[in-house]
Structure 1
């Protein structure tokens, strides 16, 4: 199996669960998970600062000094560090367990002091690889947990750096959480558009010149659309849950922006469904064209065989070894002076007449 074909299977992820019988909220790291790297962005209406490779003690200090703090944890291989973050921000144990046990269904949960959202981002578009992103947010803080380096948050980071009338820095943490969630959802649009371009190209190729390899491209496109559907449908429910939530740390103004995010998800679902129908139609058309070509070949071979049947019959008759000296009725034409050219001429006339008849009946 090639690396690319193996990567396509990341759409069917295994959920990494705690051992059977363990207590709820048990944190067990995946042995293959990378070690966490923490980065912190603190902000206020007047400014911001960003810190790399911080410790839990640094986070406690920054949390008390700034009105809004964003902690970005990349890597889930150290459950001790994740548990420390949970204590600092009073995160629920069940939410932390879902963070460590990747492969969760996209969802949104709400606790007394914070909200929790699970969603998926495309972290390797070339190999169609997704990673789980967990977002915690409450009064004055946002935490994001990713499996690997690379995320769609760069547009948000650039917006934080803009000076003058910066809404991200001036508003509460729930607006920052919205911006991060919206960035993940918007990152699906380029992939969806790329799939649409691939489908259009294959459709043009099929109409221009049918080939067997086109079926593989269509199946790959359908697989990618199925994976997108798997993450987008529950994600729409998660965003709807955020809009309906009755939590003090989620303001009505932020919910208005989340409605726009919900429109984006709904639009992506509609586009993927349209593309899936298009791919299904193209697969059916490709199979019909393959059947038509097969029938065309069979028809041609049948016509050729039909033309040669009487010729083979004549050749078989004239090839029988009867003794002419025993009886004058035994193949007298074999002793004709022009017997051979007459036989060839007879065969040629029969073949031409059959060919003209097939053309007249429009079988050719």
Structure 2
């Protein structure tokens, strides 16, 4: 099952080329404009990106968010409208990028991986963010808009988000993306507990498939979430003029959250690996248990088969001194059966005394 769609260019394609997305890759494109100061707040959905251009020239913080699938020509127009670098536009279009941060003349371009908490299974979406002196332009290729909680904070003026610059809004976006990992990892923890109970009770072949799927998903999470630490570490060093000194301490707190997520992820990976070993040990133990029972049954029937084979030859000749005298006994048959039963009970007693049963 593909967890994210990775698009790429054919070899030899010039840099900055935009390739059309496959149909149905995500939801329909919507454009959300948020413009605010300490006193004013505007939040609306616009039909065309050029409607947002005048707000960038105001003395306010402008956040333009593109949600859903975007076609190459529309993205090309957006890049020209807001003076975005062609290489960054290529990374926006090619979803599935490794999280990273690139620095341009008066912009920072950040790619992050966001976990979809509403999806029934583990799903990773790409979030691309441009930050300038007084604006943020973000792209999210998923179906659901994950930034509604942040807009509610902006609308209510909760905390200091309305009184600070665009770098603090960037911190809010990054923090929300990072914190999306906690509920997803909580689901992984519950699944690991269920698999552990199944392993101890009655593991089946499907249990092994669930363990392999869990390990594969955790490996993908590690590959997509591990670079977040490098991104936040780069931003929190304070080497870029777009990131103010007052925001650095909040970015360090966000860095701590990313460390917590990676610690949980590593613990779950170790637990998934140990569950695989437990399953193999349990399967080996059950196989050994079955083989022990079959070996005991076969061992019990070996002398019985020997006795039955001897008396099954039916060499009965009254004139021969080597004939079987037992064949002519009046109680020969019940005596042989009784001797077989004594052998069976004697062997069972011996096996139990040796703790083989």
Does the C-alpha gap of structure 1 residues 245 and 111 become closer, same or farther in structure 2, counting only changes over 3 Å?
Answer: farther
**Aligned-pair distance for 1:115?**
0.6
The alpha-carbon distance between structure 1 residues 284 and 190, as it changes in their structure 2 partners (threshold 3 A), is same
Question: 2:67 touches 2:145 (CA, 8 Å); kept in 1?
Answer: no
Q: 1:226, CA displacement in angstroms? A: 0.8
Equivalenced residue count is 354
How does the TM-score come out when normalised to structure 2? 0.93
Alignment partners' CA distance in 2, 1:196 and 1:72 = 33
Of the structure 1 ranges 57-66 and 351-360, higher mean CA displacement relative to structure 2 is found in: 57-66
> In the alignment, which residue of structure 1 is the partner of 2:240?
247
Question: Normalization by structure 1: what TM-score?
Answer: 0.92
How big is each residue's C-alpha offset from its partner over 1:14-59, in whole Å with a ceiling of 9 and x where there is no partner? 3x22343333222222233455321111111112111213323311
Q: Distance in 1 between matches of 2:331 and 2:170?
A: 99
SS of structure 2 residue aligned to 1:170? coil
Is the CA contact 1:56–1:85 (under 8 Å) kept in the aligned structure 2?
yes
Say if 2:21 and 2:71, in contact at 8 Å, map to a contact too.
Answer: no
TM-fit CA distance, 1:86: 2.1
Once residues 69 and 274 of structure 1 are traced to their aligned partners in structure 2, the CA distance between those partners, rounded to angstroms, is: 40
Task: Tell me the residue number matched to 1:3.
Answer: none
In 2, Cα distance between the equivalents of 1:24 and 1:234? 24
Q: Is 2:343 the partner of 1:350?
A: yes
1:122/1:128 contact within 8 Å kept: yes
Q: Does 1:154 align with 2:148?
A: yes
Partners in 2 of 1:56 and 1:356 — Cα distance?
Answer: 87
Summarize the alignment of residues 183-332 of structure 1 with structure 2, pairs less than 5 Å apart.
183-244=176-237, 246-332=239-325
Report how far residue 267 of structure 1 moved: 1.0
SS in 1 for 2:84: coil
Rounded Cα–Cα distance in structure 2 between residues aligned with 1:75 and 1:349: 80
Q: Is 2:107 the counterpart of 1:107?
A: no
Instruction: Name structure 1 gaps, 5 residues minimum.
Output: 1-5
More divergent stretch after superposition (26-35 vs 101-110): 26-35
The question of whether the paired residues in 2 share the 8 Å contact of 1:324 and 1:332 is answered with no
Of the three residues 63, 78, 82, the one matched with 1:85 is 78
- Alpha-carbon separation, structure 2, partners of 1:89 and 1:250: 20
Aligned to 2:16: 25
Select between 253-262 and 69-78 the one with higher mean Cα deviation. 69-78
Deviation at 1:66, TM superposition (A): 5.2
1:210 Cα deviation after fit: 3.9
Q: CA contact under 8 A between 1:90 and 1:113: conserved in structure 2? A: no
CA distance in 2, matches of 1:320, 1:328: 16
User: Could you say what secondary structure the match of 2:102 adopts?
Assistant: strand
Aligned to 1:75: 68
Structure 2, unaligned runs of 5 or more: none
How far the C-alpha of 1:321 sits from its partner, in A, is 2.5
Secondary structure of the 1:31 match is coil
Q: CA RMSD in A?
A: 1.8
CA contact (8 A) 2:18 2:72 kept: yes
1:289 to 1:19, Cα distance in 2 relative to 1, 3 A: closer
